[in-house]
Amino acid sequence: MALQGDEGLLRTLAKKCKDAREKIRYLALHAISKGYTVSLVAEVFCVDEATIYRWIERWRVERNLADQPREGRPPKLDEKDKEEIRKLVEENDPKRHGVNASFWDCRELRLYFLRRGKTVSQETIRRCLKSMGARYVKAEIEYAEADEDEREKFARQFLQDLASKPDSVVVLFQEL
């Protein structure tokens, strides 16, 4: 067959190739270049002979056996959405947008889009943020609607009530 001169190149490409399907194509054509029959190579690689012939023809014409780019599902977030995420994160004022939070995180951004009729997973938001160069920083939680005066008033009253009932048991728990 006309692949004899390409034996070394096909072997090198097969060794360097990271894509498994592409590697199989190069190995199959390498076997053809070594003198094995198309029917034997097709049997060994579990493909039809017609497939081997298509690979040979493609190699002759393109000198490349990589998968052609193909269409996939359109992304959930378009460029406008990504720009909106960037602005929201840079602004970092969720309350301004009706979100009772001190900071934006993936969960809050997902809920923000959900309220606007767009279903996006937290993972999609995380990948978008990562592609923008954002990184995770553990935030100190601050309750946006907390009133410091009310908190102090409650604490004083609580301590007074506790002092007036010496046999009381107080159980504190944290909601997750």
Place of tokens 């046999």: 167
Residues 125 and 87 placed together within one structural domain of the fold: yes
Residues 54 and 98 placed together within one structural domain of the fold: no
Number of domains in the chain: 2
**Domain end marker among 115, 131, 147:** 131
The predicted pLDDT at position 40 comes to 96
Q: Tokens standing for 160?
A: 């007074």
3-state secondary structure of 14: helix
Burial class (CB in 10 A: 0-12, 13-18, 19+), 151: exposed
Residues 58 and 20 placed together within one structural domain of the fold: yes
Domain coverage including residue 92: 79-131
Alpha carbon distances (Å) from 80 to 52, 61, 130: 45, 41, 17
Identify residue 21 by its one-letter amino acid code.
Answer: R
Gyration radius of the chain's alpha carbons: 31
Residue 72 lies in a domain: no
Distance of alpha carbon 41 from alpha carbon 22, whole angstroms: 15
- Per-residue tens of pLDDT for the chain, all 176 residues: 568 789 999 999 999 999 999 999 999 999 999 999 999 999 999 999 999 999 999 999 999 999 988 889 999 999 999 999 999 999 988 889 888 888 898 999 999 999 999 999 999 999 999 999 888 776 666 666 778 888 889 889 888 888 888 887 777 777 65
